[in-house]
Amino acid sequence: MARINLLPWRADRRKQREREFYMVLLAAAVGGLVALFLAIGWMSARIENQKERNQLLQAEIKNLDKQIAEIAELDKTRSQLLTRKQIIEQLQSNRSQMVHLFDEMVRTVPDGVRLTSLKQAGDILTLEGVAESNARVASYMRSIDNSPWMGRTDLRKIENKAGTKEADAKAPYVFSLDVKLKKPEDAQGDKAVAEGSAPAEGAAAPAAGTETAPKPAADLGAQVGNAATTLATKPAAAPTTPAPADPAKKDADQGEKK
């Protein structure tokens, strides 16, 4: 005889499936929440790590800024020390320049010229004075140009003050010159070249038949003027009288002739 189940098994099965569905849904929700919290924690840890790295970088940047400021200060101090060193070396090299300069000024001032003022600004020397004529000033400029310690000259002004109250009767011409001074090393080099190019004492004269280049008229005029000045200042030589002849030597010479 067949058995027939009259219980509501379909309703029980439906309820069981609903319970399983709700359990799976709850497990999924719990798993999602756990994953969400894990992701949030991981991101927070990454953010904190990045913040620490940023703070470390900021601290290193501040240290580098301090070092850069110290390096800039050291560079500034170094440039100041180099500037002082250059100034000291320049003063050391120019220590003897004034001695040579005043010596050359004494040597180059010709007769008929008198200096009234002397000013120096850097390597430019300004000379003011009075002279007897324009030729005296030109001669003075040539002497300065030929000096190993003084270089090129520029004539600023020359005026004839004759007939005025402030004029000097013997030196009516008032002049002003700008002279560019040479560096000590350049002056020493020019002096060495001049000494090397000068003819040695006792050198042989040019052979006969050889022609020498004619000197410019200005140089010849300067030499003539210098020779005239030398002759004018040189004392006249005392007349020489012939020494009396020795009578014994004279008799001996006559006996040899016989």
* 95 φ/ψ angles, rounded to the nearest 5 degrees: -65, -40
Condensed to tens digits (0 to 9), the pLDDT of residues 185-228 reads 555 555 555 555 444 443 433 433 333 333 433 443 444 344 44
Q: And the tokens for 116?
A: 């009234």
Predicted confidence at residue 166, as pLDDT, reads 67
Read off the pTM: 0.41
- Gap between the Cα atoms of 3 and 10, Å rounded: 17
Condensed to tens digits (0 to 9), the pLDDT of residues 161-197 reads 777 776 677 778 888 988 888 766 555 555 555 555 4
- According to CATH, the topology of domain 97-195 is Gyrase A; domain 2 (3.30.1360)
Condensed to tens digits (0 to 9), the pLDDT of residues 117-139 reads 888 887 888 889 888 888 888 88
Predicted confidence at residue 212, as pLDDT, reads 39
The domain segmentation of the chain, as residue ranges, is 15-93, 97-195
Considering only CA atoms, which of 155, 152, 143 is closest in space to residue 226?
A: 143
